[in-house]
Amino acid sequence: MLNFKKEISNAIAQTTNIEETEIYSYIEVPKETKNGDYAFPCFKLAGKLHKSPMDIANEIKQNISLDENIIEKVEVVSGYLNFFVNKKCLARIVIDELKNTSEYGKSNIGKGKNIVIDYSAPNIAKPFHIGHLRSTVIGGALYKIYKYLGYNTIGINHLGDYGTQFGKMIEGYTLWKDEYDLQKDPINQMMDIYVRINNLCKEDEAVLERCRNNFKKLEDGDKYCTEVWEKLKALSLKEFERVYKLLDCQFDSWNGEAFYSDKMEEVINILSRTGKMHESQGAQIIDLEDKGINTPIIIKKSNDSTTYATRDLAAIMYRARTYDFDKALYVTSYEQSLHFKQVFETAKLLGLDEKYTNGLEHVSFGMVLLPTGKMSTREGTVVKLEDLLNEAMDRASKIIEEKNPGLENKAEIAKRVGIGAVIFNDLYNNRIKDEVFDWDTILNFQGETGPYIQYTFVRTNSIIEKAGVDIKNIKVSEEYLQDEDSQNILKLIYSFEDVLKEVTDKNEPSILSRYLISVAKAYSTFYNNNKVIVDDAEIKNTRLFLTHATGKILETGAKLLGIQMPDKM
């Protein structure tokens, strides 16, 4: 697809003798349309050219040679050069691209680059609660978007399947397995066993000792303990799978923390050879104060057991060797910021190539705030993710029943609308912000919501359906796409790939969510101001094509966020 920015930066490079790539990196998209479609801030070159921005702007304007059929106007406004693209040209390239590609915006800019995304990672034998929603949804969207841009993307579910609590679970299971029907309602039953064995441990020191011993045996590969652990893990995964299916989430690896049990020794050996690891109150720690981190990292606890951090260090070594990653993203709440700071700093001591330690990134996010306040496991207000998703579908189903009772396939539509609403809400704000969870806002068809995007998509489809045209074979004319409303839509569609790139630059899916809202709004404005079905066949077909294009972008973008479109709603 013709790249306007490139056309402009090429032309500027020729008149200034400055590298085209440098020029390219300075080009901006002005906030106000009166300042053109692209702008070049000339002060960026003031140092190199030893001239004032105003002089540079005027000189470039005088000497620049641009094809009028591509860039139709250049203006100088206080040290800026503002470029206006040729409206017909914009329309033509967008139309051609949409007609010639089945997957609009797909690219291979990421070819040859490996991106590891560590996301979701719930804990085995515990409920998959709403706190894991954000990691699952943000990680899932990034996974899809990186893939769409051609990166070799590896999704890892670093399950919490390790720790002393499994010694307890094994003990509880052994004592009471016949009293529970674990197949039927595994997580709740396991939670019950866990609470019960914990109480027993408090009363009876001998039981606690047996639990500790179980964990030790599990680490040493004891057959019985491993079997029980695997069984509990499989039961949990069966429940988690249902959630992943609803959220359309994929993983390439399910290696959880336990996978690293035999890989920590190497880490500990390397770290002790650095001379930086030392004993403190019986534990093995590394001070990171000189790196600006005031809390030391604990590599081994005083009872000799390893830590969450040690396992993450082992995972970094393993992932570097196995996936040769260019970036390794960790999608967790900001509550783990200190943990990842410590781990990333300590990883530099492992003797890995800098490529790997530079590629580590914590993609952090804020809390989910329910209308009643912050949720927490300890306060006993755990909301199970599956219950939440079921409620979303129920509520969507009630709304559909009210609005459109005659609809076919209502259950599937309610599923898409309900789940889509939850996902969109999660991705709507900058990820670091806390997320407010309020059903009425989330499901409002008129708000900046998932259902609004879906509703607009469905509307575009029904307009085309009613018109009864074969959209692939109609004649579209750029003549009739030069008005402001059409141009606004075209510009947005044109920028789709850049939007996706920006998402991966910042690991921020909300850039795409907000973009989709702009597309839907731009279409609403167009639709309110223009009749689509008019007598002139060419105008009608052109407007129908614009309608189709809008739907296509909304569908593609939503899918990349993990949201499915309903056919009708």
Shortest distance in whole angstroms from residue 563 CB to ligand ARG: 24
> Would you say 16 or 342 has its CB closer to ligand ARG?
342
> Would you say 104 or 330 has its CB closer to ligand ARG?
330
> Would you say 97 or 312 has its CB closer to ligand ARG?
312
Shortest distance in whole angstroms from residue 131 CB to ligand ARG: 7
Shortest distance in whole angstroms from residue 330 CB to ligand ARG: 6
Shortest distance in whole angstroms from residue 197 CB to ligand ARG: 21
CB atoms near residue 492 (< 10 Å): 21
Q: ∠508-513-517 over CA atoms, to 5°?
A: 150
Instruction: With H, G, I as helix, E, B as strand and everything else as coil, classify residue 333.
Output: strand
> Would you say 148 or 330 has its CB closer to ligand ARG?
330
> Would you say 122 or 450 has its CB closer to ligand ARG?
122
> Would you say 332 or 454 has its CB closer to ligand ARG?
332
**Cβ-contact 454, 558 below 8 angstroms:** yes
Shortest distance in whole angstroms from residue 430 CB to ligand ARG: 21
Residue 153, φ and ψ in degrees, nearest 5: -105, 130
Shortest distance in whole angstroms from residue 422 CB to ligand ARG: 19
CB atoms near residue 280 (< 10 Å): 12
> Would you say 376 or 409 has its CB closer to ligand ARG?
376
Alpha helices (H) along 126-163: 133-148
> Would you say 312 or 555 has its CB closer to ligand ARG?
312
Query: Cα separation of 1 and 172, whole Å?
Result: 62
Q: What are the residues binding ligand ARG (CB under 6 A)?
A: 118, 121, 123, 158, 160, 312, 315, 330, 332
Shortest distance in whole angstroms from residue 236 CB to ligand ARG: 12
Query: Cα separation of 172 and 112, whole Å?
Result: 48
Residue with tokens 């004592």: 175
> Would you say 33 or 337 has its CB closer to ligand ARG?
337
> Would you say 114 or 123 has its CB closer to ligand ARG?
123
Q: What does DSSP assign to residue 370? A: E
Q: What letter represents residue 179's amino acid?
A: E
Residue 280, φ and ψ in degrees, nearest 5: -150, 120
Residue with tokens 């040769």: 324
Query: Cα separation of 222 and 210, whole Å?
Result: 14
Instruction: With H, G, I as helix, E, B as strand and everything else as coil, classify residue 302.
Output: coil
> Would you say 228 or 329 has its CB closer to ligand ARG?
329
Beta-bridged to residue 114, according to DSSP, are 152
Shortest distance in whole angstroms from residue 291 CB to ligand ARG: 20
Shortest distance in whole angstroms from residue 222 CB to ligand ARG: 24
Instruction: With H, G, I as helix, E, B as strand and everything else as coil, classify residue 286.
Output: strand
Shortest distance in whole angstroms from residue 55 CB to ligand ARG: 54
> Would you say 118 or 219 has its CB closer to ligand ARG?
118
> Would you say 162 or 455 has its CB closer to ligand ARG?
162
Q: What does DSSP assign to residue 434? A: P
Shortest distance in whole angstroms from residue 72 CB to ligand ARG: 51
Stretch (H or E) spanning 39: strand 38-41
Classify residue 545 by burial, with Cβ atoms within 10 Å: 0-12, 13-18, 19+: buried
Q: How far is CA 61 from the centre of its chain?
A: 41
> Would you say 123 or 357 has its CB closer to ligand ARG?
123
Q: What letter represents residue 407's amino acid?
A: L
Q: DSSP readout, 436-483?
A: E--HHHHT-TTSSSHHHHHHHHHHHHHHHHHHT--GGGS---GGGG-S
Q: HSE of 430 in the Cβ direction (CA atoms, 13 Å)?
A: 3
Q: What is the CA radius of gyration of the chain?
A: 28
**Cβ-contact 81, 75 below 8 angstroms:** yes
Shortest distance in whole angstroms from residue 123 CB to ligand ARG: 5
Shortest distance in whole angstroms from residue 317 CB to ligand ARG: 13
Shortest distance in whole angstroms from residue 120 CB to ligand ARG: 8
Instruction: With H, G, I as helix, E, B as strand and everything else as coil, classify residue 390.
Output: helix
Q: In 3D, which of 5, 83, 85 has the Cα closest to residue 478?
A: 85
**Cβ-contact 42, 74 below 8 angstroms:** no
Q: In 3D, which of 520, 506, 525 has the Cα closest to residue 555?
A: 520
